[in-house]
A = this chain, B = another copy of it.
Amino acid sequence: MARYQVGLQTEAKIIDATRSLLAEGGLEATTLKSICERAEVRSGSFYNLFDSKEEAILRVVRESIEAVDPDPDGAGTDSVDDLVRAYIRFFSEEPQLARVYVVAALNGDSTGESASRRFLRHHLRRVERFADAMARSDTHLGRDEATVKAELLLGALDGLAFRWSLEPEFEFDKYALLAAERLK
C-alpha cells in the first residue's frame, strides 16, 4: 500500500493506464509491459504497490461494476425510468469504464476463475432492483412476473450495450429508451 504522496500518484497512474488499456484493447492488450509503459513506471515500482497484475485489473473492473449502478443503498426509491436513465448516463459519460464493464462481463476465465461469477452476482442484484421498481409502479404485478420482466429488460439493455461496444456510433441511448418503453 502506498504511504507517501509519490506512491499514491504512481498508484493512480497505474490504475489510469490499466483502465485505458482495458477499454482500448481488452485483457489481451493489458500486459504488465504495456501498463508500465503507459504509466511511465518500471515493473519493480508496480510490484511495490500491487501484489499482482490481477490486482490492478480487478480494481478497475470493480470500479466499472460499481459505476454502472450508483447509489446501491437507494434501493426502494428509484423508478424504472431512473434506473434506465442511470444506465444510459453511464455509457455516455463514462465510455471508458463502460467498455471495461462490457469487456469484463465477457471474459469468464481470464480474471481469476470467478470473474463471470462476480458479474452474475452483480447482475442478479440489478435484476432485483429493477424488479422492485417494476412492482412498485404496478401493484397488480406479482413478484415473479416483475423478476421476469426485469430479466427481460436488463438482458435487452446489456445486449444493446454489447452492440454499442462493437460499433461506438451505435445510438445506445435511443435504443435503450425504446427497449425500456416496450419492456417495462
Contact = CB atoms under 8 A, between A and B. Distances in A.
A182 interface: yes
A105 B162 contact: yes
A4 B147 CA distance: 56
A96 interface: no
B152 A175 contact: yes
Contacts of A106: 102-103, 106-107, 162
Contacts of A102: 106
A-side interface size class = 35 or more
A183 interface: yes
A179 interface: yes
A28 interface: yes
Given A26-B107, A182-B182, A163 B156 contact: no
A29 interface: yes
A123 interface: yes
A109 B29 contact: yes
B107 A28 contact: yes
B178 A148 contact: yes
A152 B106 CA distance: 21
**8 nearest A-B residue pairs (beta carbon):** A159-B159, A106-B106, A156-B156, A155-B159, A155-B160, A158-B159, A28-B109, A120-B166
Interface of A: 25-26, 28-29, 102-103, 105-110, 116, 119-120, 123, 148, 151-152, 154-163, 166-167, 175, 178-179, 182-183
21 contacts: A25-B109, A26-B110, A28-B109, A28-B110, A102-B106, A103-B106, A116-B166, A123-B166, A148-B178, A152-B179, A152-B182, A154-B159, A155-B160, A156-B160, A156-B183, A157-B159, A158-B159, A159-B160, A159-B161, A162-B162, A182-B182
